[in-house]
Structure 1
Amino acid sequence: MTRLTRMLLGATVALGTITGAAWAQDATLKLHQMLPPQATIPAKALRPWAEKVMKESGGRIKIDQFDAMALGGKPPELIDQAKDGVVDIVWTVIGYTPGRFPSTEAFELPFMMTTGEATSRAVQEYCEKHCMDEFKDWKVIAWHAHGPGLIHSKNPVNKLEDMKGLKVRGGSRMINQMLEKLGATPVGMPVPAVTEALSKGVIDATTIPWEVTPSLKVAELVKNHTGFSGKNGLYTQTFVVAMNKASYDKLPDDLKKVIDDNSGIETAAFFGKVMDDGDKVGLAIAEKLGNNIVTLDEAETQRWKDAAAPLVEAWEAEMTAKGKDGKALVSEARALVDKYSTGM
């Protein structure tokens, strides 16, 4: 072998080593979620978040977003798709796996939440303290909540008695239990199923915030929307942006930092604010259609609060039986919501 050949071979090996090292530091991540791409969260939260991560990584992280369960499975399976490495990142409703993440349910209790942004900050701070054991199998990017939940119904809901016997879609265990306390018949289903369920008469009404109504065509399918007086909404649901631990762990430290810099309370607040902004869009569509938009007065709202109140005590007792101080968790959740809602 000539000296030149040896030099060329050595250079080729060195180049291959360098190239291999560079490629080892890059990552293509699959992000999977349940809603159509035009919905608020995929369009206004997940996509901008992914673009920010990709930009701050200098292009070394690529995130491919798959909407509307494009990679298969059903919405309740998303959390395990991230755990098992079927995908790298998911956005999902925590309550789609009932009883699995019980500590988060404090924020789904009736009249706990205020705005999506303030409540999301509260959820993030609370979960960093109280939920890490339940989410130990994931790298959590953010926990968050949506804006005030309403009752969207085919027939008007002007008072508590109008809920009696209504088949109402609920999105989580706690919301279904609340609907029972209010006299309705809860029908559990993931949010993508709402459009068909309303159009086929499987349900008479649904519990969702304004922001998701446009993508589900809810304002076209029902003509009545009932909200409540005061700063606290009837309910919210909690969400998580969760990453496969192995996908995170195998990143080099500088790319882990990019993910970390786009995780936590400000990311949670961003998702919550996006949902608040989406509420304005959904409301405007219903107003343009001339729908009946009801805000129950303080006295009637108090009747709903009183009817739903036993659910809070029941949840506190249930959590205490699991070895957690349920009353303390509710008190802390309320205090955090108040903390981040100051000045509203």
Structure 2
Amino acid sequence: MSQAAAQTTLKVSHYLPPVHGLHTDFIEPWTEQVTKCTNGEVQFEIYPGGTQLGNVAKQQEQVLAGVVDIALGLQGIPRGRFPRTSLIELPFMTRDAGAASETLWEMYPEYLAPEYRGLKVLALFAHNGGLIHTADKKVETMEDMQGLRLRTPSPAVSQMLTALGATPQGLPPGEVYENIQKHVIDGTVFPWDPVKSFGLNEVLHYHLDAGAYTVPFFFVMNQRKYDSLPENVQACIDEASGASLEAKFGDWWDKWDAAGREEAVASGDVITHLTDAERERWREALQPTIDHYIQETADHGVDNAREIYERMRELLAEKQQDASS
């Protein structure tokens, strides 16, 4: 192996703290797998949240500009960049991270690819069904949502919260703690795992397991950089990514969420669930919002938005059925 080849270093960025499972269970092992596969020809520098390259709003643009080579980011921040992919955020699509992640990956070539120009997509994935977490008020019904100021991750979830009577507040995940502590917001929507990784069990005391939404993420590489690499390196990156990587997200999210929930239980927090009757009320109340969001997406240039939505629902139903059988 030549000295020049040994010095290929790729920069990877993400916005999460280095204690988060996405860093420890996913990003670090992924980079180690590629380094081992290339016999050390490729090394990595990882820039997590809190570093100069860890801004959640800049992950996509940093990769496109070549500031970093690879990034993990949230599709909803900044808003509006991934309208096709973001249809999976609509209410009550799925509670299952594994089914959601595999659905996104399966849909990518035919339906989602136009929004990833200039990017080599290594994985698309989503979290388990999100909860509504509040500091001082127990939420069990739609009426309990009235007037609550809740942090939102995306336009689709914002519309859902508005339709349920809450007031959505757009904030990066890392700013939620301070804003709850200062009573700027009353709570947030999150799956369980960031509640632990961002220390939010210290300020949140009520958790409604609504399973009402999910949020998608991207793991992408600069296409020009990928194309410039030797074939053996490309093969190693491909081997560590795609379908083999997608298959891991369901178990990972279950593990990360369990840790967040266990911490809340240990803290004596109140955890409630939507009753079947209340869930049906929410579904009915949210149907106009769903239809409006799909039409809005179509009006902004995604002519087949309804087709994408229906195909997502179909695949999610199939994969959730397979998982439960």
TM-score by length of 1: 0.89
Matching of residue 143 in structure 1 with residue 121 in structure 2 = no
Note the residue ranges of structure 2 that are not aligned, 5 or more in a row.
none
Matching of residue 244 in structure 1 with residue 226 in structure 2 = no
Equivalent residue number for residue 170 of structure 2: 188
Give me the CA root mean square deviation: 1.6
Rounded to whole Å, the distance in 1 between the matches of 2:54 and 2:35 is 27
CA distance 1:56–1:318, change in 2 (3 Å): same
How far apart are residue 73 of structure 1 and its match?
6.3
CA distance 1:241–1:73, change in 2 (3 Å): closer
Equivalent residue number for residue 286 of structure 2: 308
Rounded to whole Å, the distance in 2 between the matches of 1:172 and 1:123 is 17
How far apart are residue 127 of structure 1 and its match?
2.0
Note the residue ranges of structure 1 that are not aligned, 5 or more in a row.
1-17
Rounded to whole Å, the distance in 1 between the matches of 2:159 and 2:94 is 17
Moved more, 217-226 or 322-331: 322-331
How far apart are residue 269 of structure 1 and its match?
3.0
Rounded to whole Å, the distance in 1 between the matches of 2:239 and 2:128 is 25
Equivalent residue number for residue 14 of structure 1: none
Question: Which residue among 332, 335, 339 is the counterpart of 2:311?
Answer: 332
- Provide the secondary structure at the position in 1 that maps to 2:114: coil
Matching of residue 267 in structure 1 with residue 248 in structure 2 = no
Q: How many residues align?
A: 321
Deviations 1:48-107 (A, max 9, x none): 211112111211111121111412463111110011011111110011021111001111
Does the CA contact (< 8 Å) of 1:195 and 1:218 recur in 2? yes
Does the CA contact (< 8 Å) of 2:158 and 2:168 recur in 1? yes
Matching of residue 160 in structure 1 with residue 142 in structure 2 = yes
Rounded to whole Å, the distance in 1 between the matches of 2:172 and 2:225 is 27
Rounded to whole Å, the distance in 1 between the matches of 2:133 and 2:244 is 31
Matching of residue 291 in structure 1 with residue 269 in structure 2 = yes
Does the CA contact (< 8 Å) of 1:27 and 1:251 recur in 2? no
Matching of residue 341 in structure 1 with residue 320 in structure 2 = yes
- Provide the secondary structure at the position in 1 that maps to 2:18: coil
Equivalent residue number for residue 215 of structure 1: 197
TM-score by length of 2: 0.94
Rounded to whole Å, the distance in 1 between the matches of 2:91 and 2:204 is 24
- Provide the secondary structure at the position in 2 that maps to 1:277: helix
How far apart are residue 270 of structure 1 and its match?
1.7
Equivalent residue number for residue 62 of structure 2: 81
The structure 1 segments of at least 4 consecutive aligned residues displaced by more than 3 Å after TM superposition are none
- Provide the secondary structure at the position in 2 that maps to 1:260: helix
Equivalent residue number for residue 178 of structure 1: 160
How far apart are residue 271 of structure 1 and its match?
3.0
Rounded to whole Å, the distance in 1 between the matches of 2:29 and 2:5 is 25
How far apart are residue 315 of structure 1 and its match?
2.2
Does the CA contact (< 8 Å) of 2:177 and 2:198 recur in 1? yes
How far apart are residue 24 of structure 1 and its match?
4.0
- Provide the secondary structure at the position in 1 that maps to 2:31: helix
% identity of equivalent residues: 33
- Provide the secondary structure at the position in 1 that maps to 2:49: coil
Equivalent residue number for residue 279 of structure 1: 257
CA distance 1:323–1:224, change in 2 (3 Å): closer
Letter in 1 for 2:171: M
Rounded to whole Å, the distance in 2 between the matches of 1:158 and 1:83 is 43
Does the CA contact (< 8 Å) of 1:82 and 1:90 recur in 2? yes
Does the CA contact (< 8 Å) of 1:146 and 1:276 recur in 2? no
Does the CA contact (< 8 Å) of 2:31 and 2:44 recur in 1? yes
Rounded to whole Å, the distance in 1 between the matches of 2:219 and 2:231 is 21
